[in-house]
Chain A
Amino acid sequence: MSRGSGGGYDRHITIFSPEGRLFQVEYAFKAVKAAGVTSIGVRGKDSVCVVTQKKVPDKLLDPSSITHLFAVTKYLGLVATGTTADARTLVQQARNEAAEFRHKYGYEMPADTLARWIADKSQVYTQHAYMRPLGVVAMVLGIDDEVGPQLFKCDPAGHFFGHKATSAGLKEQEAINFLEKKMKNDPAFTYEETVQTAISALQSVLQEDLKATEIEVGVVVKGNPIFRALSTDEIDEHLTAISERD
């Protein structure tokens, strides 16, 4: 009789289960949620904005050392939601890859190429037993010379898609429901609307008003396509604008 479950190893390494599933990949998705942080990305007409929670679990920690927002190059941002250690190794490799690309081909690595590279690396971990999948969902943002603002999301399974708006982490599904309603008719958000949609989406799913020190906001805008993190003052301005609007 054929043994169903691969000797019980189908839960430990990335081999198929009898239902054709990869349990290790599914568990990696759970690890992303277990980090307890939610991130949101919104693509506007000429800008992209990402917002992520900044949870400082201990007052003695130096808050400036806690971040999920990374600049892969001057022009490409990456939000890594999930296990911090896995996030750091992914960012390190991505930075290396983007720099080599720039050196080898003479032009900046586009957002979709970086996203594809991350996704292809993640796929290798789902197929080779010697490395486990990373417990990270990566959102890549940048302004592409040819098609404009880009927002990509890459997951532990190796999938990647371009998004008009998306979310990752603990409250991923609630955020996506909120965003689907907002983006239903393909609105072309201005920079302010993009940032405020992202921040208010996070506030809505967390069901609390956020302080500027509790979130990180990263933006990239067409006129000046350098990826940058907003300062606490700038975040405060947007938060005020949102509460006045409501």
Chain B
Amino acid sequence: MGDSQYSFSLTTFSPSGKLVQIEHALTAVGSGQTSLGIKAANGVVIATEKKLPSILVDEASVQKIQILTPNIGVVYSGMGPDSRVLVRKSRKQAEQYHRLYKEAIPVTQLVRETAAVMQEFTQSGGVRPFGVSLLVAGFDDKGPQLYQVDPSGSYFSWKASAMGKNVSNAKTFLEKRYTDDMELDDAVHTAILTLKEGFEGQISGKNIEIGIIGADKQFRVLTPAEIEDYLQEVE
């Protein structure tokens, strides 16, 4: 992976057995904007802050939540440019699967392949690990699923999770609020409230992004107007 001139890995073990480059990558994730995901009984919601460096930035040109396949979406915390690489590779892997099996790729398979790419960059020559953690939300035959993938390449399935700056407060909030029988609409409200907890400034449809997938198995990103509606309901 990577046409590198370096034939040796830059990520090596420290005397205590740690891979410090991965730890530093996680630190980079931890200083990224907060994002979270919640798995409901009939769908999944993922959401993130969208804080732009200036009011001069055209916010319509930025979309952090990306679609990987019609029924799988992803959000990241950490370094935006790194996430673009992973999104591109995942989309291609999903398409290759479809070409071979004439079926939509199951969520677990796509997550596993993406995680494998992230792991390669912790071991291959001349590259550094990805500075992002991903939350992958999908709905396939096994129902709604939410996975978190870390820079090390390890992944877990979550009922609800958060990443980035406000991770500990967000997770505490989610632990209190989460119920197994939540509906997708409740989950969206909870996601908004969780983001609101650590939000600096006035939350609006233009500075957060929300992606949902329901029983229709179509992942989509909500428009700012739809987010405003949900915000009204939450007030």
Interface residues of A (CB under 8 A from B): 1-4, 6, 9, 13-22, 43, 112, 116, 119-120, 122-124, 126-130, 152, 157-159, 161-166, 176, 179-180, 183-184
Question: How does the 8 Å CB contact mask read for B59-93 relative to A, with 1 for contact and 0 for none?
Answer: 01110000000000000000111101100100000
* A15 near B30: Cβ-Cβ < 8 Å: no
Known contacts A22-B128, A127-B127, A184-B55, then 10 further A-B pairs from the complex at CB < 8 Å, ordered by chain A residue: A1-B15, A1-B16, A2-B20, A6-B24, A16-B27, A20-B25, A124-B85, A127-B82, A163-B57, A176-B56
Q: What residues of A have a CB within 8 angstroms of the CB of B232 in the complex?
A: none
* A130 near B4: Cβ-Cβ < 8 Å: yes
* A2 near B54: Cβ-Cβ < 8 Å: no
Closest A residue by C-beta to B11: A15
A126, A161, A179: most-surrounded residue (chain B CB, <10 A): A161
B: contact size bracket: 35 or more
* B18 near A2: Cβ-Cβ < 8 Å: yes
Question: Is residue B2 contacting chain A, with contact meaning CB distance below 8 A?
Answer: yes
Question: How does the 8 Å CB contact mask read for B91-131 relative to A, with 1 for contact and 0 for none?
Answer: 00000000000000000000000000000010000111111
Question: Is residue B208 contacting chain A, with contact meaning CB distance below 8 A?
Answer: no
Q: What residues of A have a CB within 8 angstroms of the CB of B82 in the complex?
A: 123, 127, 158
Q: What residues of B have a CB within 8 angstroms of the CB of A122 in the complex?
A: 81
Nearest CB of chain B from residue A49's CB, rounded to whole Å: 14
Bound complex: CA of A163 vs CA of B127, how far in Å?
A: 31
Q: What residues of B have a CB within 8 angstroms of the CB of A120 in the complex?
A: 81, 84-85, 88
Q: What residues of A have a CB within 8 angstroms of the CB of B130 in the complex?
A: 127
Q: What residues of A have a CB within 8 angstroms of the CB of B20 in the complex?
A: 2-4, 6, 18
* A123 near B85: Cβ-Cβ < 8 Å: yes
Bound complex: CA of A166 vs CA of B56, how far in Å?
A: 7
Q: What residues of B have a CB within 8 angstroms of the CB of A157 in the complex?
A: 79, 81
Closest B residue by C-beta to A176: B54
Nearest CB of chain A from residue B127's CB, rounded to whole Å: 5
Among B15, B27, B127, B129, which residue has its beta carbon within 8 angstroms of that of A129? Answer: B127
Among B11, B81, B121, which residue has its beta carbon within 8 angstroms of that of A123? Answer: B81
Question: Is residue B5 contacting chain A, with contact meaning CB distance below 8 A?
Answer: yes
* A20 near B129: Cβ-Cβ < 8 Å: no
Among A20, A119, A183, which residue has its beta carbon within 8 angstroms of that of B56? Answer: A183
